[in-house]
Amino acid sequence: MQLTLAYCPIACSMVPYILLTEAGASFDVLSVNLFKGKQYTPEYLSINPKAKVPTLIIDGDPLTENVAIQVWIARQFPDADLMPQDALTYAKTLAVMSWCSSAIHPKLTQQARPERYCEIDGTSDNVRALGTTAMLELFALADQQLAGREWFFDHFTCADAYFYWCFRRGAQFHPDALKFEHCTRHMARMDERASVKKLLAFEAQVQAEFAQKEST
């Protein structure tokens, strides 16, 4: 099986990179520079017309949407134990993943791309501020869920990988995120995983490659 992950540093494509690494999967990476609009090239749009990352190309067949990709990885590599076996806990894990996707992630986009939310001149700061407020409210809920726990459930799952990206990105937007003690400790535990260390090293490498291309 040939796997290729369409990936951009900082973006949520970090999540399947972590999970593929946790699973011990062999995969290639297609680096897509979102900061330069490379997701809109005809070549990439032929892979993912949504013009987003991640895309996981499985034997030439593209799979899109982060939650779907995570579930596929967990099912394809069951020995990695990336999702709980119990049906109810599985569903609750999926609920956390969906919450990251549908609630937290949009508030991050609101801070990164306020023009997508309001085009009226002079509104960008207000749009960002509202996004920050909502994001911190969501992190407060996550902090309650993580109190007294290492992971969202009894062991590391896809939910932890997705929330890690959400919280890391949120803290990059606003340092007040770091006031949530349990979320911050969760991020520190994630940073110690071999899969995340590999990701962060790869992220730095791709960022350097992007910067080199810009300078030439």
In the chain, where the domains are located: 3-80+195-215, 87-193
Answer whether 104's CB lies under 8 Å from 170's CB: yes
Residue 170's pLDDT is what? 98
Give the residue-averaged pLDDT of 101-113. 97
Residue 25 CA to residue 76 CA, distance in Å, equals: 10
Residue labelled with tokens 């956390």 = 96
Q: Is the pTM of this model over 0.75?
A: yes
Is there a shared CATH topology between the 3-80+195-215 domain and the 87-193 domain?
A: no
Architecture of domain 87-193: Up-down Bundle (1.20)
pLDDT at 78: 98
In the predicted model, what is the mean pLDDT of the chain? 97
Read off the pLDDT of residues 181-195 as tens digits, 9 standing for 90 and up.
999 999 999 999 999
pLDDT at position 163 is 98
The stretch 172-188 carries a mean pLDDT of: 97
Place of tokens 């309001």: 118
Confidence of residue 213 (pLDDT cuts 50, 70, 90): confident
Q: How far is residue 1's CA from residue 63's CA, in Å, rounded to a whole number?
A: 14
| Distance separating alpha carbons of residues 5 and 21, to the nearest angstrom | 12
Q: What is the pLDDT of residue 132?
A: 97
pLDDT, tens digit, for every residue of 22-69?
Answer: 999 999 999 999 999 999 999 999 999 999 999 999 999 999 999 999
Helix (H) or strand (E) holding 187: helix 181-191
Backbone angles phi, psi at 176, to 5 degrees: -60, -20
pLDDT at 215 over 90: no
Decide which of 3.40.50.720, 3.40.30.10, 3.20.10.10, 2.30.42.10 is the CATH code for 3-80+195-215.
Answer: 3.40.30.10
Catalogue the long-range contacts made by 137-140 (C-beta closer than 8 Å, 24 or more residues apart): 138/103, 138/104, 138/107, 139/104, 139/167, 139/170, 139/177, 139/180, 139/183, 140/180
